[in-house]
Chains A and B, each alone.
Chain A
Amino acid sequence: NAGVTQTPKFQVLKTGQSMTLQCAQDMNHNSMYWYRQDPGMGLRLIYYSASEGTTDKGEVPNGYNVSRLNKREFSLRLESAAPSQTSVYFCASIGNSPLHFGNGTRLTVT
């Protein structure tokens, strides 16, 4: 039982490059989330998916897209990376309560 698994753990991109952050959970949870964590700003919700087949914007969705591929997987895509997207990204899932987090992806955009 791995919980919430994120890949990659680290990534360096150049401005304008694209990439997809992967997230999978094996707890049969309905809801999944993507957060970014920045110093002094805490955790901010980018997108969430209340159930398979649905996605909704959070607080800071601009510059990102998501796909809820199936119940297990929820990916986050940066189409054209910008330095402002340098952050640590966390995926999380929830069944009833509480949130379970992945280990995070540390992304640097130069």
Chain B
Amino acid sequence: AQRVTQPEKLLSVFKGAPVELKCNYSYSGSPELFWYVQYSRQRLQLLLRHISRESIKGFTADLNKGETSFHLKKPFAQEEDSAMYYCALSGGSGNQFYFGTGTSLTVIP
């Protein structure tokens, strides 16, 4: 069963415009939600996690349990934000992680 859904495979925005990358999840219980980022040909790295409620590189994400969403937002996109973004969910035994299919963000200068 699809646990993490990222509906947009590709997203393009102009520099300085707001950006929102959507993530919806389905999971019974209390999952932990993450956003990972992968810059061109680099390893995946953690961008942020819902329990820390912090802003990293200007990005924020709020967990909405009612809508089962964890959308990633940034008010003013920068060119260096161009990357692949993955929403991920952790839950169950054995520290299982489930990833969405990813959204490729391009910020147009």
| Residues of chain A at the chain B interface (Cβ within 8 Å) | 30-31, 33, 35, 40-45, 48, 50, 56, 90, 92, 94, 97-99, 101-104
Which DSSP category, helix, strand, loop or mixed, fits chain B's interface? strand
Complex partner residue of A97 from B9, B49, B93, CB under 8 angstroms:
B49
> How far apart are the CA atoms of A106 and B93 in the complex, in Å?
30
What chain B residues lie within 8 Å of A31 (beta carbons)?
A: 94-95
Q: Quick check: is B45 within 8 A (CB to CB) of the other chain? A: yes
Least CB distance from B50 to A in Å reads 11
Least CB distance from A52 to B in Å reads 13
Contact A48:B44 (CB < 8 A) given known A40-B101, A97-B90? no
Complex partner residue of A42 from B42, B90, B94, B99, CB under 8 angstroms:
B99
Q: Establish whether residues A43 and B94, one from each chain, have CB atoms under 8 Å apart when the complex forms.
A: no
Q: Establish whether residues A103 and B43, one from each chain, have CB atoms under 8 Å apart when the complex forms.
A: yes
Chain B, Cβ-Cβ closest to A90: B44
Given contacts A92-B97, A97-B49, 20 further A-B contacts (CB under 8 A): A31-B94, A31-B95, A42-B86, A42-B99, A42-B100, A43-B102, A44-B99, A45-B96, A48-B95, A50-B94, A50-B95, A56-B94, A90-B44, A94-B97, A98-B46, A98-B49, A98-B90, A99-B44, A101-B44, A102-B43
Q: Quick check: is B32 within 8 A (CB to CB) of the other chain? A: yes
Q: Quick check: is B34 within 8 A (CB to CB) of the other chain? A: yes
Q: Establish whether residues B90 and A41, one from each chain, have CB atoms under 8 Å apart when the complex forms.
A: no
| Residues of chain B at the chain A interface (Cβ within 8 Å) | 6, 9, 32, 34, 36, 42-46, 49, 86, 88, 90, 93-102
Q: Establish whether residues B46 and A99, one from each chain, have CB atoms under 8 Å apart when the complex forms.
A: yes
Q: Establish whether residues A94 and B95, one from each chain, have CB atoms under 8 Å apart when the complex forms.
A: yes
> How far apart are the CA atoms of A83 and B16 in the complex, in Å?
42
Closest 5 CB pairs of A and B: A42-B101, A50-B94, A43-B99, A101-B44, A31-B95
Most chain A Cβ neighbours within 10 Å, of B94, B95, B96, B102: B95
